Structure 1
Amino acid sequence: MASVLLVDDVMIARYTLRLFLERGGHSVTECGGGDEAIPILSAQRFDVLVTDVWMAGGDGLSLIRRIKTAELGLPVVAVTGGAPRAPQEYSVDEAQKAGADRVLMKPVGLDELLRAVAEVTAERLD
């Protein structure tokens, strides 16, 4: 299965997403923000990034842009509960503009997350 870097600043959300990914057979490394993710990405290879969009400590949009600009070939599944003072659709649009391969809206279900990870990792191999 896939090696996943999971980035979310909300511990309970990160815990739930990690459990979902591990139930799907994936290996998960987690961290609490985009700034924390950069050195991890430099030190270790991953098959997919699953990241929240809006976070303290380095937002997901900046992280996605940085990964896509570096042309690492790393697929990104963005997860969003919505931006402060904006409709959830705004966050979806912004994540897509930043380069996310899939965008899921919170609350995310087990099957939905596993399907998105499977799709983006399969596309990477094509």
Structure 2
Amino acid sequence: MSAVLVVDDIDVVRLTLRKFLERGGHKVTECASADEAEDLMRRWTPDVLVTDLWMPGRDGLSLIRAVRLRNARLPVVAITGGAPGMTQASSLDEARQAGANRVVMKPVGVQELLANVQDALDQATTAAP
């Protein structure tokens, strides 16, 4: 079982992601903002971070960049519905450039989410010295 931190500003999305991840056997902690998540991660490190990219205030891209400065190996799965005025491909590229291991588009299904989380965890494990 992996400890997963889910960050999304929309309550129903966080609940859905939680249910999906718990079905896969993961233990889930939730945050409603990038600031809340970064504050939590100063005291605790999840096994994997699942974050929305486009949230009011501080976005998921800045969270991913901050995480990468402190922990280059933490698996990160970015989830996005796209951004206003930006193509889906641009959102995917931005997330990868920020350091996301995997990027999925909303709406995400349970199997797709679980597969991407597992892929990110596997990638981090094989990259470890």
Q: Which amino acid aligns with 1:97?
A: Q
Once residues 45 and 97 of structure 1 are traced to their aligned partners in structure 2, the CA distance between those partners, rounded to angstroms, is: 22
Tell me, in whole angstroms, the C-alpha distance in 2 between the residues paired with 1:105 and 1:122: 21
How does the TM-score come out when normalised to structure 1? 0.95
Aligned-partner Cα distance in 2 for 1:2–1:71: 17
Q: Can you list the C-alpha shifts for 1:20-79, whole angstroms capped at 9, x where unaligned?
A: 001101000001110110111111121000000000142100000011122352110000
Asked if the contact 1:3/1:28 (under 8 Å) is kept, the reply is yes
Is the contact between residue 68 and residue 99 of structure 1 (CA under 8 Å) also seen in structure 2? yes
TM-align CA RMSD:
1.0
Aligned twin of 1:88: 88
- Stretches (4+) displaced over 4 A: none
Q: Which amino acid aligns with 2:79?
A: V
Name the CA distance, whole Å, in 2 between partners of 1:3 and 1:45. 9
| Residue 31 of structure 2: aligned partner | 31
Residue type of the alignment partner of 2:94: E
In structure 1, C-alpha distance between the alignment counterparts of 2:33 and 2:105, rounded to whole Å: 18
- State the Cα deviation string for residues 1-29 of structure 1 (Å, max 9, x = none): 11000000011111111110011010000
Contact 1:36 1:57 in 2 (8 A): no
What secondary structure does 2:42 align onto? helix
Gaps of 5+ in 1: none
How far apart are the structure 1 equivalents of 2:100 and 2:56?
19
